[in-house]
Chains A and B, each alone.
Chain A
Amino acid sequence: MSDQGSTISSTGAPLELRKIDIRLTGESQKLLVREASGVVSEGESVGILGKSGSGKTSLLSVLGLMSKPTGGELLLSGIPTSGLSDAELARRRNEDIGFVFQNYSLIGHLNVFENVALPCSYGKPMSKKQTIAAVTEQLHAVGLDGFEKRRPKSLSGGEQQRVAIARALVRSPRLVLADEPTGALDTATGLQILEHLASATSRAGACLVVVTHDQEIARAMDQTWVLRDAELHHEVKGRR
């Protein structure tokens, strides 16, 4: 596996954590995550479980290349990410990772089509035709045909999260990271959304990492990683 000149050997999995340390910045320097390791293979799903304040979001931030770990190495498709520049990290986020945020994080002044198409504006250029095709396909996949011109605020919470899922998958990433994707939804809608998310990522051949405090959701994934006392514990289960 090529790793851009690095001698690190890897499994080539979409996501691989090697002894990741995460410390809080500032005076406290509190260790949030210590030597966390793990591998997420092609098409696999992982639920990261932890209490509030356990460092779940910080870990997700590292997995999503939004911040760098204090120690250790994160490999994305076998490529070490610690030496990547800010622009290269942005490109990897754009092309390799899809994000589903807790509060949907749709942009209010853009319509549904524009929100889903947003990742296509960055990274490797896509033609207008390719963008339209990709957006249309993803909106169809999440059952939002005909919603293209609607503004986010005119949609229900479930619909907004489905738009977010379509946006996460529009560039066919290898990895989808979801931060409490059902946190802002009622139970029934949450389950529905989770089903959408799982089937959409599965269909796209991407692996899925869901950060949640809901044990039921976490344990529904192929692997469950529990973040407790700064340690990442693995509970291996069957594939979804």
Chain B
Amino acid sequence: MKFRHMLVHGLNDLRANKLRHFLVGVSMLLGVLAIAAVSSADQLVTKYLIAEQEQLHGRAQTFASVLNPGTLDGEDLADSLEHLNTVAESVGGNVLYTISSPITVPSVRGQNIERVAYTGDFAASYRVPLSTGIWPRESGGFAPEAVLNEQAAALLGIDEVAQTFAIDTPHGTKTAIVTGIAQDGLVGEEARIYQPQGSVDDAGLLSSEPTTMLLTAPGDKQIALQQFAADFLTQRGNPSAGSMEFMRQDTVDSTKNSVAVTKAAFLTAGILTLVVAAVGVLNVGLATVGERSEELVIRRALGATKVQIFGLVMGSSLIIGVVVAAISAVIVSVSAVFVVPRFMGTTGLVGGIDLPFGALWFGLAAALITSFLGALSPAIKATKLDVAQALRS
């Protein structure tokens, strides 16, 4: 049977049973959209959960070690860390060295505020989006630069960048300028200020405070980078660096494992939706063949072959499948690009959903497969009708 004939017969068939085919199409469309929605929801949940873990515990493949500065003075350590960072960046990683200490802000004296002084790219090791502004320059400017978390911003009454506040330091009160407000995922009253080490103007911190060194790097580079850091710091005169132990800090892998259960649930829901759609199409197809058996045997009597009858019954379903596939592609694309972002708010933690290509292709394939499978059994049944029934109808 020529494809054109199949198409023509299919269209005639659609025209003859408009409402029924419309309802079949709608049920298939809902099935495909449900799969796309389930996939998108799965994607969002996974993204949110992982992003939240990366926000609090560090990005994937972040290892942490306590570093005792030993005999290294602040400047030596700063130079060493800068060199280490250059090496880490060359393998797609990052070295972040943080010192946490309480500070006093005269305007809210008595309130607990913690300062995290860091070297390296903070955002490369933690997923901490800024609701406004930018991360400070490493070298600092005319005044110490700082990023406040939302609690600190609220405490200090700061709601936009370029505002200033005073900090007590061992060298007297300094004025810091706010370059950004960060969403660091801390809850409650944990007010925190993030400042690059160079902006703190207090090199003494590096050689006196408890320090944490974080290495974030691709999995296959981790061990080599850890070894390089230990060797390098030892060579630079810090014998204790040789015994540094890096412990995995991020929880991305375990989160992914936990999410696998959710994924399985979503997948099951998607498959069930498909099965429901397929059974619906099959049901309608079988009923249609039952109702149309008289027409089909007349066609057989007038010269239609079994293949042509098969094509006739399949034609309308396949046309519906193609139309549903096209419509669902448009709806899913528009939803992913325009609709979903509008409902996601402005947390910035997750940058929206990607166009669910996988789900879309799966949905399109599902529409075609559902229409094919749903029509297959009725089509086979139609070819088995007894032609002689044409004389007995």
Report the minimal beta-carbon distance from B265 to chain A, rounded to whole angstroms: 45
> Restricting to A49-97, which residues have a CB under 8 Å from any CB of B?
57-58, 60-61, 64, 66-67, 86-87, 90-91, 93-95
In the complex the two chains form, is A93's CB within 8 Å of B391's CB? no
14 additional A-B pairs beyond A99-B390, A110-B16, beta carbons within 8 Å, are A67-B386, A67-B388, A86-B305, A87-B307, A90-B304, A90-B305, A94-B304, A107-B295, A108-B295, A109-B16, A110-B12, A121-B304, A122-B303, A122-B308
Q: A69–B387 Cα gap in the complex (Å)? A: 14
24 A-B residue pairs with CB within 8 Å? A57-B392, A61-B388, A66-B300, A87-B306, A87-B307, A90-B303, A90-B305, A91-B305, A93-B302, A95-B303, A99-B390, A101-B390, A101-B391, A102-B391, A105-B294, A105-B390, A107-B295, A109-B12, A109-B16, A114-B12, A121-B5, A121-B9, A122-B303, A167-B302
Binding site for B on A (CB under 8 A): 57-58, 60-61, 64, 66-67, 86-87, 90-91, 93-95, 99, 101-103, 105, 107-110, 114, 118-119, 121-123, 167, 179
Q: A57–B306 Cα gap in the complex (Å)? A: 23
Contact residues in B for A99 (Cβ distance below 8 Å): 301-302, 390
Q: A99–B391 Cα gap in the complex (Å)? A: 10
Q: A167–B392 Cα gap in the complex (Å)? A: 19
In the complex the two chains form, is B306's CB within 8 Å of A86's CB? yes
B243 close to chain A: CB less than 8 A: no
Q: 1/0 per position for B276-298, CB-CB distance to A under 8 A?
A: 00000000000000000011001
Report the minimal beta-carbon distance from B298 to chain A, rounded to whole angstroms: 5
Report the minimal beta-carbon distance from A182 to chain B, rounded to whole angstroms: 16
Contact residues in A for B301 (Cβ distance below 8 Å): 64, 66, 93, 99
Contact residues in A for B304 (Cβ distance below 8 Å): 90, 94, 121-122
Query: Which residue from A87, A108, A110, A179 sits with its C-beta under 8 Å from B305?
Result: A87
Q: A109–B305 Cα gap in the complex (Å)? A: 21
Of chain B, the residue at the smallest CB distance from A110 is B12
Contact residues in A for B16 (Cβ distance below 8 Å): 109-110
B299 close to chain A: CB less than 8 A: yes
In the complex the two chains form, is B390's CB within 8 Å of A123's CB? no
Q: A95–B304 Cα gap in the complex (Å)? A: 11
Query: Which residue from A60, A90, A108, A114 sits with its C-beta under 8 Å from B391?
Result: A60
Q: Given the interface contacts A61-B388, A66-B388, A101-B390, does A109 sit within 8 Å of B300 by beta carbon? A: no
In the complex the two chains form, is B391's CB within 8 Å of A122's CB? no
Q: A46–B388 Cα gap in the complex (Å)? A: 21
Q: A86–B387 Cα gap in the complex (Å)? A: 11
Contact residues in B for A93 (Cβ distance below 8 Å): 301-303
Contact residues in A for B299 (Cβ distance below 8 Å): 107, 118, 122
In the complex the two chains form, is B393's CB within 8 Å of A103's CB? yes
Q: 1/0 per position for B1-15, CB-CB distance to A under 8 A?
A: 000010001001001
Report the minimal beta-carbon distance from B310 to chain A, rounded to whole angstroms: 12
Q: Which 3 A-B pairs have the closest CB atoms?
A: A94-B303, A109-B16, A122-B303
Q: A83–B305 Cα gap in the complex (Å)? A: 16
In the complex the two chains form, is B306's CB within 8 Å of A94's CB? no
Query: Which residue from B17, B302, B387 sits with its C-beta under 8 Å from A122?
Result: B302
Q: A103–B393 Cα gap in the complex (Å)? A: 8
